[in-house]
Structure 1
Amino acid sequence: MLLPVIAGVDGSAESMAAAEWAAREAVRRERPLHLVHAWNWHPRQTDGELANAAQRHLAQRSLRQAEERVRGACPGVQVYDEQVEGPATPALLDAAERADLLVPGSRGLSGFTGFLVGSVALGVVAKATRPVVLVRAGEEPEDEHRPAADGSASTLTGYRDVVLGLDAGDACGEVIEFAFEAALLRRARLRVVHAWRPPSAISLGPGDIALLDDPQRGEEWQGFLATLLQVWRDKYPDVEVVECVPKDKASTAMVRAASGAALLVVGHRLTDRPSSPRTGPVTHAAIHHVGCPVAVVPHG
């Protein structure tokens, strides 16, 4: 059986938007959609049974609302739902192990200036071993597409770019492949961005200072990135690829590049301390300041 796209549902507007985005992605990937609601069991409370019954009822209502929304938006999607007991973060992390990708809708997310990430979403992003996609509240199908000729929003036009934020000096195949697949599924252009900064005098060795001026450094990075991506161009000949090597701070370049994109893809290196809910500076900037959906792809 194909691994499903899993959406975390908690009844919030953010989770409804995430579920609908997950349904569209499930259709694109030709996979089933699995809606999951996690609720806490209260074994020691005197009114524990009443509390548990109330939570089960609320969970079922949230799942029913989400299912109605995704069926209305994507009538052909194969969808099933599940209630799970326990804290939301470990429950969603466990679900992610059985997922093609996870979309954790959460009340901790906001759609005004990017993501104000709550503890659940942050914990999932930091520890998941499968790709996680964060979707802001208010995300609509038209947001993934280019405007119509008259400037109006439309779902009949082509997709906006998929943007891949890449550290060319530490490139990871899982992250690159995810971005190429996402672009292929959308028939979208893939814009690969590697930001670079001039080396300081302290970091250069004897005789290295001023070997290259900034334009030459940019050309060197452009050539290096093109060579790095050639094997992926050969594997995905139908994907149009554009390489961008801005002279900028990586996190700043990613936020700028994601403006007007259908999807931003960034990598997250899994640390040797899985109990620490931390992300790198680029991932941190993406999930806090980017408006489009953000795919965080873990790698070793």
Structure 2
Amino acid sequence: MKDLVTVGVDGSPASRAAAVWGAREAALRKVPLRLVHVIDWPISPAVPRLGRETADRWADEALNEALEEVRRRHPDLETSTRSLSGRPAASLAVEAADAGLLVLGSRGLGSLVGFLVGSVGTATLVATDTPVVLVRVADEPEDAEPTPYGEIVVGVDDNDAPDRVLAFAFEEAARRGCALRAIHGWKLPPAYRSFPYVDSDEERAAGRSAAQLLDEVLLPWRRKFPSVSVDQKAFMGSAGSQLVQAAAGADLVVVGRHLRRSPLGAHLGPVTHAVLHHATAPVAVVAHD
């Protein structure tokens, strides 16, 4: 594991929430924290009065505000700041290269001073192989005391069970001393889709097979992390909606994405896309082959 947590900040409420979450994670991992602001330069000509001096001042204010909040909550945490100029997705990907985790707010201020809006946020996700956690603004007051760690939820595709996704989920649960819920959605084989109905016995048999396969996928990780209590669920249908529902009471939701092999497309997958857009908990996206 790389010994650094990097957080992208832009002064927005979501990025402040990301800084708080990232600091707590860095303290949990016992590694330094790095706060990074990226000035999307050159500034758009649509705002002619916004010059480099103003942009630099905004960067300093965003970084200082996040730094003060982090130091207030974690006075002993080693924390540094960095201000960069360039395209946010590419710059953050470079910053994440030597980090074990990149943490971002799920909404930003826009392309002028922010980094995570629409396609820019997606570009950041697919530009790095480092796990990325997206954090939304919490409902509780900003000065609220941190709550005990809750459940970790992980989406499992047992047709292509990626070790990186399961390793991340189990490690996070072990660090927190909390339970892990593994969710897998399965579908009937394509041959059944041409029939007007499916025999209930055959459907139950397929369900038992999916549950058994999920057991087999999780067994090595249960043995490796015996302290982690695991609750698992295999059901017919898409895992997206189930993961979103589970996120309501979770501390973190972990999903995977395939490593990008071509310059076209986001390569996030429908389940990850659904979770990113609808889950209320922080979402960790872990790249895998």
Partner of 1:171: 161
Classify the secondary structure of the residue corresponding to 1:134.
Answer: strand
Deviation at 1:5, TM superposition (A): 0.5
1:181 is aligned to 2:171: yes
1:98 and 1:264, CA in 2 relative to 1: closer, same or farther beyond 3 A? same
Partner of 2:113: none
Residues 83-102 of structure 1: matches in 2 within 5 Å?
Answer: 83-102=83-102
Deviation at 1:38, TM superposition (A): 0.6
Q: Distance in 1 between matches of 2:117 and 2:184?
A: 25
Q: Distance in 2 between matches of 1:193 and 1:80?
A: 37
1:127 is aligned to 2:127: yes
1:21 is aligned to 2:10: no
1:141 and 1:80, CA in 2 relative to 1: closer, same or farther beyond 3 A? farther
1:261 and 1:182, CA in 2 relative to 1: closer, same or farther beyond 3 A? same
Partner of 2:260: 271
Where does structure 2 lack aligned partners over 5 or more consecutive residues?
A: 110-115
Classify the secondary structure of the residue corresponding to 1:124.
Answer: helix
1:191 is aligned to 2:181: yes
Deviation at 1:140, TM superposition (A): 5.3
Where does structure 1 lack aligned partners over 5 or more consecutive residues?
A: 110-115, 143-152
Partner of 2:280: 291
Deviation at 1:141, TM superposition (A): 9.6
Q: Give the TM-score normalised by structure 1.
A: 0.83
Q: Distance in 2 between matches of 1:217 and 1:141?
A: 46
Residues 1-300 of structure 1: matches in 2 within 5 Å?
Answer: 3-42=3-42, 51-105=51-105, 107-108=107-108, 118-138=118-138, 155=146, 157=148, 159-201=149-191, 212-274=201-263, 276-300=265-289
Classify the secondary structure of the residue corresponding to 2:186.
Answer: coil
Classify the secondary structure of the residue corresponding to 1:271.
Answer: coil
Q: Give the TM-score normalised by structure 2.
A: 0.86
1:156 and 1:39, CA in 2 relative to 1: closer, same or farther beyond 3 A? closer
Deviation at 1:296, TM superposition (A): 0.1
1:141 and 1:92, CA in 2 relative to 1: closer, same or farther beyond 3 A? farther
Q: Distance in 2 between matches of 1:170 and 1:290?
A: 23
Classify the secondary structure of the residue corresponding to 1:34.
Answer: strand
1:140 and 1:28, CA in 2 relative to 1: closer, same or farther beyond 3 A? farther
Which residue identity lines up with residue 158 of structure 2 in the other structure?
A
Identity of aligned residues (%): 41
Deviation at 1:19, TM superposition (A): 0.5
1:160 and 1:95, CA in 2 relative to 1: closer, same or farther beyond 3 A? same
1:257 and 1:105, CA in 2 relative to 1: closer, same or farther beyond 3 A? closer
